[in-house]
Amino acid sequence: MRIIKFRGRYVFEMNALYPAEDKWVYGYLFYVNEEPWIRINTKTGFHDYHIVKGTEGQFTGYKDKNDIDIYEDDVVLFSEHYSGDHIIYEHAEIIEFEDTGFNDSLMIGYMDLPYWSEILGNIHYHIELSKCLHAI
């Protein structure tokens, strides 16, 4: 069974009581008045984070070659190897949820061999990389 979880970017401005924070939070996604929130279950109970709208992304159910979870909006490098380390083909993709599921690259066998994939970043922190991929 695939694990259903989400992530979102939490940004908290510095004030007199708390330092500034800019981090990813992972957990259950819900909306209040069309604003996205992530709920995290901790040892002391639940903690809710109001996340930046548009940064919410679903876990694909796959990991890359470094055992890192791949989420929607990640930029992933896919490489096909022949005879060990010899790379015969590489391409990068932004992971997007489509009508029938995630990108075709995730579904056509790349993820059966996770050492063929590596997360390069995501479209929220690596905007220039995202623009290059959309221009192709």
What's the pLDDT tens digit per position in 94-113? Answer: 777 776 666 655 555 555 55
How far, in Å, are 6, 7, 128 from residue 25 at the CA level? 8, 5, 23
Beta carbons of 9 and 55 less than 8 angstroms apart: yes
Residues 70 and 100 reside in one and the same domain:
yes
In a domain, 1, yes or no: no
Q: Is 44 in the same domain as 63?
A: no
Residue 119 within a domain: yes
Do residues 91 and 120 both lie within one domain? yes
| Residues 6, 57: Cα–Cα separation, whole Å | 6
State whether 71 and 35 are in the same domain: no
**Taking the model in full, what pTM does it have?**
0.78
| 77/130 same-domain check | yes
Digit-coded pLDDT (tens) for 109-136: 555 555 578 888 888 876 666 555 554 4
Same domain, 64 and 121: yes
Tell me if 127 is assigned to some domain: yes
Identify the domain containing residue 70 by its residue range: 59-135
**How many domains is the chain built from?**
2
pLDDT value at residue 117: 81
Shared domain check, 34 and 98: no
